[in-house]
Amino acid sequence: MRFFQQLFFLGLLCLTLPQPVEASEVDIETADLSREELVARIIAAGTSASDNRRTGVEIDGCMVTTFAHKPYQDFGWVLHTLFEFDLGLVKVAISREAGGSLFIEGTSVNPAMAIVVFEAIPPYKAPHEVPAYREPKNPVRRSGREGVVDYFFTEAEDFMVVMENVTGPKQGQEFAGGLMRLRSEYCLPSLS
């Protein structure tokens, strides 16, 4: 198991408990949905906002872009992280039994969170755009993004989407399960 996964499974396992799925909602993995309806549900599930983090997702065919903005110094909201990946070349790293995501209950200090970890199918590596203030490790190239800080691209074998202020465990499960359904039905997976 990779370090990334170990960190979350060991560090957060004690904080996460299996959560019941509401029976009244139609399951994204089994519902009769058109491609457009499936994509709309994935985007809704991948969108969240808290006082400290705003996340979103865009889907164009089988290319998925996930991004998060955070406040930075006095500049307001700036891009904090962006992954752009071919859905056919990644898989969700958290078990299907866990719904593909980890859920962390909110407290009076911290909002509820959902974490979805992805694993690239070798030799693929997902482009990861990060601001210079995050001190990117092994930058591949400078980004052309203009803003208050410089941005760089790195490459990731494992990566995660962290959503804050989620409505419950179902939101992360819908995001992970919806992406894997989109992958299996519309995006030709790579042989591994």
- Helix 169-186 vs helix 35-45: crossing angle, to nearest 10: 150
Beta bridge partners of 70: 78
Sheet containing strand 151-156, strands side by side? 48-49, 54-60, 63-71, 77-86, 126-131, 151-156, 141-142
In this prediction, residue 114 carries a pLDDT of: 96
Please give the average pLDDT of every successive group of 10 residues along the chain, which has 192 residues. 38 35 62 94 97 97 97 95 96 85 92 96 95 89 92 95 95 95 85 46
Contact indicator for 179, 87 with CB cutoff of 8 Å: yes
In this prediction, residue 51 carries a pLDDT of: 95
The verdict on pTM exceeding 0.85 is no
165 to 7, 111, 114, 148, 171: CA distances (angstroms) = 22, 5, 8, 26, 10
